[in-house]
Structures are given as C-alpha cells and as structure tokens.
Chain A
C-alpha cells in the first residue's frame, strides 16, 4: 500500500505516489528559487510544468499513476535546476546561494526516545553519544537534564519530510540531495525489514530500553497531570471554604459555625459595622468587603476548574469584569472609610461633679465595688464581640455598644469626697461631638457607705461609635479610709497618680488617704 497524492499539472490531473510528489514539489520549488520570481520566471515555470505533464502522459501511459522513477526520468530529461538556470543566463548571480542554514529538528530515524539527542548532535555536528552523555550527567543535579529533555521534546519539531531532514543536517536543498535523502530512507526501511541475528537482538534490546525510557516518561507525564489535578482540587476546596467563611462572618455572624461549634458566638459583621459606623444600612460596607475578598477566591476556583476541565473560555472578558468589580469595591470601601473618618474630626468632653458627703464620712471605711451592669441593669447577653475596649453585645435582641470606664483615685483638695465623671466623644463638629458625649449612658449608685460603679457605659441604641469614653475620678480627702473591692480591677485606671501599685495589687485591700497618696493599711 502506498500513499498517493492527486495533483493538477499543466491542465491535466495525475495521481502521484507520495514520494514522487515530494520529489517533484522540491524540484519545482528549487527551480522557482533559481529563477527570479518575476513574470519571466513564472512563464518559464509554467512552460516547464506543461512539459512535465506531457512527459508524464508519455511515460505512465494509461495508468495515470506517477511513480518516483518516472519523476526521476523527467528530471533527467529536463535537467537539474542549476543547468536550467545557467542556460537562462539571467539568474547566474543567484545560482551559488543554495546552502540552507542548519535547523534544529528531532531526528526520529536514529532516535532512542524522542530524537532530541540525535537532533542536537546533527545540529552541532557531533556524535549523538556525546550529547546523550551530557544529558546523563545533567540528570545528576536534581534531574535537570530530564526537564531540559522534556522541554526540548515538546518544543522541537520532528524532522519528517526529506526537506526537513536536509535542513537538520544543514545540507543544501536541491534535487540530488533530496533524492539521496529519499533513497537513504527507503534503504533504511529495507534494513529494518532485513534485520536479524545477533545484530537484530542487540538492537532489539536497545529498542526495548528506549521503549522503557519512553514509557517511564509517559508515566511521569501522567504523574504531572495527577499533581495538576490535585492542585486544582485544592484550589477549588480553598475557595469554597474561604467563601463559606466570609459569607458566614459577614452576613450571618458565624451562626453557621455556631450550630456546629456552640462555644463560638458571634454577631454578623454587618450588624457590628452598622451599629458602630455612620451607615443606615450595612450594604455599603459589607458587600464591598465581601467582593474584595471573594473575587480573588473566585479566581482561585476558576483557575482550579480550568486546570481540571481545560475548557475554552473568554478569559479576558471574565477577567476584565472581575477586575472592574474588584476595583469598584475597593473604591466604595475607601469612600465609606473617608466619610467615616470625617465624622471623627472634633473631640469634646462633658464633666459632671457630685459630692458624696452625707454617706461617706471620715469615721468609717467606705467601699467601692463594680457591678457587671449598664444603666443599672444587668447585662445578659447571649452574643457579644469584643473590639479593643468596646463590646458589641446583643441584649434582648438589640445591638448595644458598651465601653469600659476607667476609675482613678486621687487626693481631694476639698473637705469632702467628690466624684467627677468626664464623658468624651468625637463628632463631625463641636455640637455633635458634645451631644455624643452627653448621650453616653453611665450610672453609679451610692448605697450607705458603698459606692457601686457600673462596669460598662453604654452608647444609646441607634447612636454610632464615636470613640466615646468615660473617665471617673474619685477624689478622697486626707484621712478617709477606702476598701477597693476585687470587682474594681477591670475598671481601675492602670496608672493611678502617685501610686506604684497596679490595679491587681490595689484590689481587695483597705487603704487610707495620706498626705499625698493612698497607703495600704494592712501592710503597715
């Protein structure tokens, strides 16, 4: 069985054997190369093609099929391109430029694995054994040679046609060399058919080793594919988990987790944000936050799916849309943060001073205690989030912002003990800042000789977080005795004036105000 090609030549059609066609094509191409490619050259080629057609009809008779021998005969009759061009005289100057530059191909005719080494050998004009040895040496440092080989295998084309084989060897492409190349090839085919005996056995073994190496590399390719699939699955999983977490935290306040892990409690981020910042709804901040985080996650998912299924998609369009949305989200987020920052420009404080005189006298000891309550009511919150010194808590279904006051004890210049409560807040202007400060809800109770402090101050429902703060100064005149209860520790100012004690050292002790500072009565 032979591959055939149908051609039309000089107005007639012929069926040509594959090798015959190749030889003819190369002949005509080299003619075209020799003759200048103008009107005259084309005319000559046309004439020659017509003559070839005529000769084909004569030689092949009725069969209409043209073999390589016929083509060779015809070429002999017409003469080789150099002769023809010389006869012309015009193209004499171009006749000598028939050398073609050497090109790198994989030599499949002499290959063990993929013909990379033999191809390189042909290219550099060295024995392929030298190249193979080099590759083998390159295998030692972390298999670098293997990678190089794989890259070359993929990148370098095989030398298939006689023309490519000549280019590989750097031989000039003309009729005689192409013919030679074809002849060599058919000789090789016969050779392989004839192979037998010891030589055949040795080649068989070598071939077997080559096959083994080939299958080993195929196996490696499969391993690489599997690794790619694992990476894809990891990417998809990461993305899904990430998406689950952010949706949960932003929109459900970890409620999905809550059912699974009851010890984790939370309020949706959106709710925390709206209760603290200047937004009527949380969407201006939650959705941009969601998108800013989710788009990179979706990108991971997308890459993962692409690796797994390798479908064709309009990457650029999708990428452009995603990038635009992402940038828009960042812009919205920045704007909201800017407006937020604007509402913090002015700071104001409101001072309230009360005398504690009738209840507390010099004779006895008075006690200070803190109660886990706000506005005199106990806090029973099921869900709360601590942010720095503030707590966002859900009390009776309403979200409250609570803060910790801090209590300082110092010497009073007056005769009687006094309590000074300073409420501080920020606002966009002086008026709102003052209003925000006034609205802070804080209470204490004086019962007999016990002063109860609330452990929390509260920002009224509906009002936003404006760095509200409450600082309480208890001024005690000289000679007064005071017992600081353990519950006070959390609200005591850590830096008490003229005191070298920390709050944890001050609680559960009885103190007396001396000339300058408190003295530990139990110590002395």
Chain B
C-alpha cells in the first residue's frame, strides 16, 4: 500500500463535493477555484480539476458564462444550477453520515 496514493484516492473521492461546496458560496472562475482548492491542499496538480468540471457541467450540476476580465481574455465563470444545489444537499447529508460512521468506527476502541 502506498500512503500517498491512499491519500490521493481519498481526496479524489471528495473533490467533486468540494467543488460544488465552493460554488455554493458564490460563482467563481477557474483560477479562483484552483487557488481555493490549492490553499486547502485538496489538489496537488491542477490538471485533475478540468475533467471533473467538464463532467459536472455535462451532468447539469454546473453551468458557466463568459465574463470580460480586467486583463487578458474573457474568463469562464462557473455557477451552481438548481440540480447542482439539490445534488449538493444530498452530498452534504452523505458527508455527514460518512463522518459520523467513520467517527463511530474510530471511537469503538
């Protein structure tokens, strides 16, 4: 077993949840998302984010719009759809359940 790999797998599992959570606080453009996730040490390499975003967008959880930026080309702003919001609520519940379960297991000893 590889410790780094195990950690990466765990992060990967909740990345989807994290993206939706960030967006639930307000719209964000890609670089915002990246910076926030990086700060939180959720992602090591940026590249993994893009397939995830595209998949969520195609699933109808997200939508995006183009917005002019003060410098450089227009930016892609992501926003949560209604479907995305209810999906996030479900995930929130799921997360809480998971944390409870894990804690219960950890506290058994």
Contact = CB atoms under 8 A, between A and B. Distances in A.
Interface of A: 10-12, 35, 40, 43-44, 47-48, 50-51, 53-54, 57, 76-81, 83-91
Nearest to A82: B47
Contacts of B47: 48, 78-81, 83-84, 87
A81 B45 CA distance: 11
B50 A44 contact: yes
B50 A48 contact: yes
Given A40-B58, A79-B45, A84-B48, A47 B73 contact: no
Interface string B47-73: 111111111011000000000000011
Which of B47, B57, B58 gathers the greatest number of chain A CB atoms within 10 Å? B47
Given A79-B47, A84-B50, A51 B55 contact: no
Given A12-B73, A84-B47, A87-B12, A54 B55 contact: no
Given A12-B73, A47-B30, A50-B30, A40 B54 contact: yes
Contacts of A78: 45-47
13 contacts: A43-B54, A44-B51, A47-B53, A50-B30, A50-B76, A51-B30, A57-B72, A80-B45, A84-B47, A84-B51, A85-B51, A87-B15, A87-B52
A84 B15 CA distance: 13
Given A51-B46, A83-B45, 19 more contacts: A12-B72, A12-B73, A44-B50, A50-B30, A51-B31, A76-B45, A78-B45, A79-B44, A79-B46, A80-B47, A83-B48, A84-B45, A84-B47, A84-B48, A84-B50, A87-B47, A88-B48, A89-B51, A90-B55
A221 to B, nearest CB: 51
Interface string B35-46: 000000000111
B53 A10 contact: no
A174 to B, nearest CB: 14
Interface residues of B, number: 23
A35 B55 CA distance: 12
Contact of A88 (B44, B51, B76): B51
Contacts of B46: 51, 77-79
Contact of B51 (A10, A77, A87): A87
Interface of B: 12, 15, 30-31, 34, 44-55, 57-58, 72-74, 76
Which of B49, B53, B76 gathers the greatest number of chain A CB atoms within 10 Å? B49
A40 B45 contact: no
A12 B74 CA distance: 11
B80 to A, nearest CB: 18
A442 to B, nearest CB: 111
Contacts of A35: 51
A434 to B, nearest CB: 105
Which of B53, B57, B72 gathers the greatest number of chain A CB atoms within 10 Å? B72
Contacts of A83: 45, 47-48
Nearest to B69: A54
Per CB-CB distance, the 6 closest pairs between chain A and chain B, nearest first, are: A79-B45, A87-B48, A88-B51, A84-B47, A11-B73, A79-B47
A77 B76 contact: no
A40 B54 CA distance: 7
Nearest to A76: B45
B16 to A, nearest CB: 10
Nearest to A74: B46
A47 B48 contact: no
A54 B72 contact: yes
Contact of B73 (A10, A85, A87, A88): A10
A47 B31 contact: no
B109 to A, nearest CB: 34
A53 B76 CA distance: 14
A393 B55 CA distance: 103
Contact of A54 (B12, B31, B54): B31
Contacts of A12: 72-73
A79 B72 contact: no
Contacts of A89: 51
A354 to B, nearest CB: 122
A76 B46 CA distance: 9
A423 to B, nearest CB: 109
Contacts of A10: 73
Contacts of A84: 45, 47-48, 50-51
A374 to B, nearest CB: 109
Contact of A90 (B12, B44, B51, B72): B51
A289 B21 CA distance: 96
B55 A88 contact: yes
A77 B47 CA distance: 8
Contacts of B76: 47, 50
A4 B46 CA distance: 27
A47 B50 contact: yes
A40 to B, nearest CB: 5
Contacts of A79: 44-48
Contacts of A88: 48, 51-52, 55
B41 to A, nearest CB: 15
Contacts of B74: 11
A76 to B, nearest CB: 8
Given A12-B73, A47-B76, A79-B47, A40 B55 contact: yes
